[in-house]
Amino acid sequence: MPIHTVTPGCQFASDNTAPMSPGAWEALSQANRDCQSSYGDDAWTARACELVREIFECPAEVFFVFNGTAANSLALAAMCQSYHAILCHEVAHVETDECGAPEFFSNGTKLLTLSGDGGKLTPAGITHAVERRRDIHYPKPRVVSVTQATELSTVYSIDEIAAVSDTCRRHGLRLHMDGARFANAVAALDVPPRRITWEAGVDVLCLGGTKNGMGVGDAVVFFNTSLADEFAYRCKQAGQLASKMRYLTSPWVGLLEDGSWLANARRANAAAARLEQGFRAIPGIEVVGRRQANAVFARLPDALAESLRAKGWKFYNFIGAAACRFMCSWAVTDADVDALLADVRQAT
């Protein structure tokens, strides 16, 4: 029995409102044509690993899990003892949206939050956090976690990542990157992925697939391959080892093989740019922050936000930015953006 959706167009609540992108869907359907070995010992999974290594131009260790919370939590747990601390931004997804999973899977490693403009950590902030306490009574900082693109739709430049990474090396810290929207950062910077990951000193990247056009699935990419030792056991114990792994990995092949991972991110960023430009031309709307990726943050009069919601538009009030968040997925079209802008203009 098909369940038809009645809402035309795309929404702005989350990148997760989008369907699977066509290449990912097609690969999934191809993977359904034959029998294959289980638990990742199959051709699709091998190809997906190979494609990740090609895109990053390095011999990384790659693991596929069901979502970003699992990817982040397990990757962080792999780098910490329970008495360690992880330094992250106060609006970081690992702090605000993972229900304590990083602490849970690491058996109690403490997240220490730092502030910083645009959702970004700074070398000075990290150094201060490391140096303010060094005694036995305080959890020992061991990992820095950055989000690329950030929760506030900004992007760390190559130099910013390198500066954070230098600070990490100086203090014996490892560098984790939450890349739920990594493709959007690559699209925004227009650089080879290696420049903002292993070449800049990132030890492990959680690479987002779901928001990029998969139906389900994110990857953990260890550039520092010694950290991947026994990681497969962590995945299995956490319920993150898919028995029919090919259904998780074939869409990755579809997404990575033809470059649609990057094309999707470019579309999402372009939709956000169009929306931002439209907002800026409407009096009474204040665009907040310096958008580089696929979300626009804006302050709207309460009555306006209410009337948009009454018309069926969906978007969040984002606490960290004290503004409304309009998130553009890869599937948002110019027509979707223009329809929203038309309703905004009509209501003002």
Task: Give residues in contact with ligand PLP (CB under 6 A).
Answer: 67-69, 72, 93, 147, 151, 178, 180, 210-211
CB of 98 to ligand PLP, least distance (A): 7
The half-sphere exposure of 19 on its side-chain side, counting CA atoms within 13 A, is 8
CB of 211 to ligand PLP, least distance (A): 6
Cα dihedral value 12, 15, 16, 21, nearest 10: 120
d(CA 147, CA 75): 14
CB of 121 to ligand PLP, least distance (A): 14
DSSP 8-state class, residue 109: P
Contact between residue 116 and residue 126 where contact means Cβ atoms under 8 Å apart: no
Locate tokens 């506030």: which residue? 152
CB of 151 to ligand PLP, least distance (A): 5
Q: Which is nearer to ligand PLP, 109 or 147 (CB)?
A: 147
Q: Which is nearer to ligand PLP, 140 or 325 (CB)?
A: 325
CB of 93 to ligand PLP, least distance (A): 3
d(CA 47, CA 161): 29
Indicate the residue whose CB is closest to ligand PLP: 68
The half-sphere exposure of 132 on its side-chain side, counting CA atoms within 13 A, is 11
d(CA 205, CA 179): 6
Q: Which is nearer to ligand PLP, 68 or 139 (CB)?
A: 68
φ, ψ of residue 56 to 5 degrees: the values are: -95, -5
Q: Which is nearer to ligand PLP, 9 or 215 (CB)?
A: 215
Locate tokens 């369907």: which residue? 19
CB of 256 to ligand PLP, least distance (A): 18
Q: Which is nearer to ligand PLP, 177 or 347 (CB)?
A: 177
Q: Which is nearer to ligand PLP, 25 or 316 (CB)?
A: 316
CB of 114 to ligand PLP, least distance (A): 16
Q: Which is nearer to ligand PLP, 69 or 250 (CB)?
A: 69
Cis peptide before 149 (omega within 30 of 0): yes
Strand order in the sheet with 61-65: 61-65, 218-222, 204-207, 174-179, 140-147, 84-89, 110-114
DSSP 8-state class, residue 39: T
